[in-house]
Structure 1
Amino acid sequence: MHLELQLIPVPVADIDRAKAFYVEQVGFILDHDVRPSATVRVVQLTPPGSACSIVLGAGLPGMAMPAGSLRGLHLVVADINGARRELAGRGVAMGEVQDLGRIKYASFADLDGNTWVLQEISPTA
């Protein structure tokens, strides 16, 4: 069996506000923003270099979650300090880098409180 994780729903209260945050501040790429019906909207965004996207949606069956309830999505980076500086420079409130040995983390939240973690893993010696 071959399984690919390609799309993760992110629950937000205001799609336009969240779209602006993810595109303008975090640097995600807007794949599409479509309204297939009067009650459905799908905004798909992809982190640069990622094979997995997120979806901000309204009126989608089976995707009802409270805004801000998603926790700990990881964005893997090669240089956590550089990525942290870049996001902070774009106005993203970043947590400090936590060094756990071979793994480093720094976190942030979107405007609804969904949390994200930058992760850098050092190669083994």
Structure 2
Amino acid sequence: MNWTLEVVIVPVTDIDRAKAFYADQLGFNVDHDVHLGEGRRLVQLTPPGSGCSVVIGEGVVPDMAPGSLRGLQLVVADIVAAHAELVERGVKVGDVTVLDGDADKLARGGAALDNVGFVFFEDPDGNGWAVQQISARG
């Protein structure tokens, strides 16, 4: 039996601001933006190529403090290109980091950054994201 993770709820203070960040700056697809009645709204966004979406909203998500979510992680085939795209889109993102401390891997680039090349950023509420390079899976 397959068990697939399909949705992660991200707590935010301003739905429209968060929707703009995830859609316009990160390039996530807006799957749904549904008003379910007074004080109830659900927005579902999916990163391109992902089988898992994020949900933001009010009145339909668990009570979590905005900005309290950490450890969300996206995976890309080229961390240097992903970093450049995030910068171009106006995301305040840190420099490419090589987690194993081998700075020579950054200079070599390409497959040398697999599994160890990361960038980190936060959404407007402070929810923490990482982007990791994995160019091929075993």
Same fold flag (TM > 0.5): yes
What residue identity is the alignment partner of 1:56? I
1:22 has 2:35 as partner: no
Secondary structure of the residue aligned to 2:11 is coil
Q: Residues 1-125 of structure 1: matches in 2 within 5 Å? A: 1-60=1-60, 63-101=62-100, 102-121=115-134
Q: Deviations over 1:38-93 (max 9, x none)?
A: 121000000000000000010025x1100111102010000000001001111001
Which one has a larger percent strand, Structure 1 or Structure 2? 1
Deviation at 1:121, TM superposition (A): 2.9
Q: Report if the CA contact (8 A) 2:118-2:133 is conserved.
A: yes
Question: In structure 1, what is the Cα distance between the partners aligned to 2:8 and 2:72?
Answer: 9
Question: In structure 2, what is the Cα distance between the partners aligned to 1:118 and 1:50?
Answer: 13
Question: In structure 2, what is the Cα distance between the partners aligned to 1:99 and 1:58?
Answer: 37
Question: TM-score scaled by structure 1?
Answer: 0.92
Aligned-residue RMSD, C-alpha: 1.6
**Which of these two proteins has the greater Rg computed from alpha carbons?**
2
What residue identity is the alignment partner of 2:83? R
% identical aligned pairs: 54
Q: Report if the CA contact (8 A) 1:103-1:122 is conserved.
A: no
Structure 1 segments unaligned to the other structure (5+ residues): none
What residue identity is the alignment partner of 2:60? L
Which one has a larger percent helix, Structure 1 or Structure 2? 2
Question: TM-score scaled by structure 2?
Answer: 0.83
Structure 2 segments unaligned to the other structure (5+ residues): 101-114
